[in-house]
Amino acid sequence: MTTVPTQFDAMAWITNGEPEPEKLSQVLEAATCEEMLARYKEVEAIYNKSEYEIICLWLLAAKDTADRGARYGQIAHLYETITDGIGMMDGVALAASYVAKYVAKDARILDVAAGTGSMGKFLFNEHGYRNLEALDISPGMLEEARKKNVYTAFYQKALGEPWDFADGEFDATTCINMLPDPTAVSVDVAFNEPIRVTKPGGYVIFTLIVTGAEKLGYLDKLAELEAAGQWKSVDVSEALDAGAGWSEPLTPRTYVYQVL
Ligand SMILES: C[S@@+](CC[C@H](N)C(=O)[O-])C[C@H]1O[C@@H](n2cnc3c(N)ncnc32)[C@H](O)[C@@H]1O
């Protein structure tokens, strides 16, 4: 059974409020990043978005989980340049410092949506963690992560779908620079599996882009899970000011929850 929001019309959500939404849809429907950038050149005067932003919109506009994984795979070699270029790598370093504040060095940590492994790199190199495992939908992104030699296991799985890990198998779960992405996972189920596979007393540590998170009901969901006795809020970072060259500010915050 899949719990990914298959009925969610990602393209309508992305193009909503943009001038001439059909033109933007045609750009974002391209199967390859190269083709998308070529189409975008024809219409860029209308949208005036940076190359990094249009690539990120193209990633969001994937048709389904397999397409999303394939799209990320196409830009895996560029991914960290993009993240750094828009100031989001600082958010990864900040999130890693919150892991170091709460989670024991010998902890078994599942890095959800690990991508190319930036979080693993900070946890391994800066904070001495050695028991890191990477989960992501994209084989291409996991391939880049593998090259870093900081993870001991790799899982091609989706956040939002049931995982075959045992309850409480991990000491901590992280999910950095992915949420909120309503095109990839619904807020209703985003935290179910991270909470289930993290042992009681362990930590779920994630970033949210604050403005999007509020609009998409994430802040309500965090409180709802706390009221239901699933976890308790332990810490939350300042909101960073990222998103250089973006049409709207990107403000990632790190959240630390302890599973009950
Ligand atoms: C913006 S990147 C973040 C990567 C990494 N955490 C970082 O901070 O550099 C988002 C990652 O989430 C993955 N992803 C997207 N939807 C996913 C899902 N439903 N389940 C697991 N991974 C997903 C993508 O393949 C991509 O690697």
Pocket test for ligand 1, best of 58, 147, 178 (most atoms within 8 A of CB): 178
Q: Which of 29, 50, 83 is the last residue of a domain?
A: 83
Structural tokens at position 150: 């900081």
Residue 73 CB less than 6 A away from ligand 1 = no
Q: What is the mean pLDDT of residues 126-148?
A: 98
Residue with tokens 């992405």, as numbered in its chain: 181
pLDDT for 239:
95
Q: Which of 83, 102, 119 is the last residue of a domain?
A: 83
Ligand 1, atom nearest to 174 Cα: 6
Residue 158 CB less than 6 A away from ligand 1 = yes
Percent of the chain with pLDDT over 70: 97
Let me know if residue 5 belongs to a domain. Answer: no
- The answer on pLDDT for 44 being more than 90 is yes
Pocket test for ligand 1, best of 116, 118, 121, 136 (most atoms within 8 A of CB): 136
Residue 115 CB less than 6 A away from ligand 1 = yes
User: What are 23-34's pLDDT values in tens digits?
Assistant: 999 999 999 999
Does residue 29 sit in the same domain as residue 144? no
pLDDT for 6:
53
Count structural domains, the chain: 2
Let me know if residue 1 belongs to a domain. Answer: no
User: How many angstroms separate the CA atoms of 149 and 89, rounded?
Assistant: 19
pLDDT for 139:
98
Higher pLDDT, 74 or 248: 74
pLDDT for 2:
42
Containing domain of residue 74, as a range?
A: 10-83
Does residue 79 sit in the same domain as residue 184? no
Residue 184 CB less than 6 A away from ligand 1 = yes
Does residue 142 sit in the same domain as residue 242? yes
**Band of the pLDDT at 1, cuts 50, 70, 90?**
very low
Residue 71 CB less than 6 A away from ligand 1 = no
pLDDT for 5:
53
Does residue 27 sit in the same domain as residue 72? yes
DSSP sequence for the chain: ---S-TT--HHHHHHTTSSSHHHHHHHHT-SSHHHHHHHHHHHHHHH---HHHHHHHHHHT-SSHHHHHHHHHHTTTTHHHHHHHTT-HHHHHHHHHHHHHHS-TT--EEEET-TTSHHHHIIIIIT----EEEEES-HHHHHHHHHT---SEEEE--TTS---SPTT-EEEEEEEEEES-TTT--TTTTTHHHHHHEEEEEEEEEEEEHHHHHHTTHHHHHHHHHHTTSEEEEEEPPPP-B-TT-SS-B-EEEEEEEE-
Let me know if residue 2 belongs to a domain. Answer: no
pLDDT for 243:
84
Ligand 1, atom nearest to 95 Cα: 8
Residue 96 CB less than 6 A away from ligand 1 = no
Residue 185 CB less than 6 A away from ligand 1 = yes
Does residue 178 sit in the same domain as residue 67? no
Average pLDDT, the chain: 95
Compute, in angstroms, the gap from residue 115 CA to the centroid of ligand 1. Answer: 5
The CATH number that applies at residue 231 is 3.40.50.150
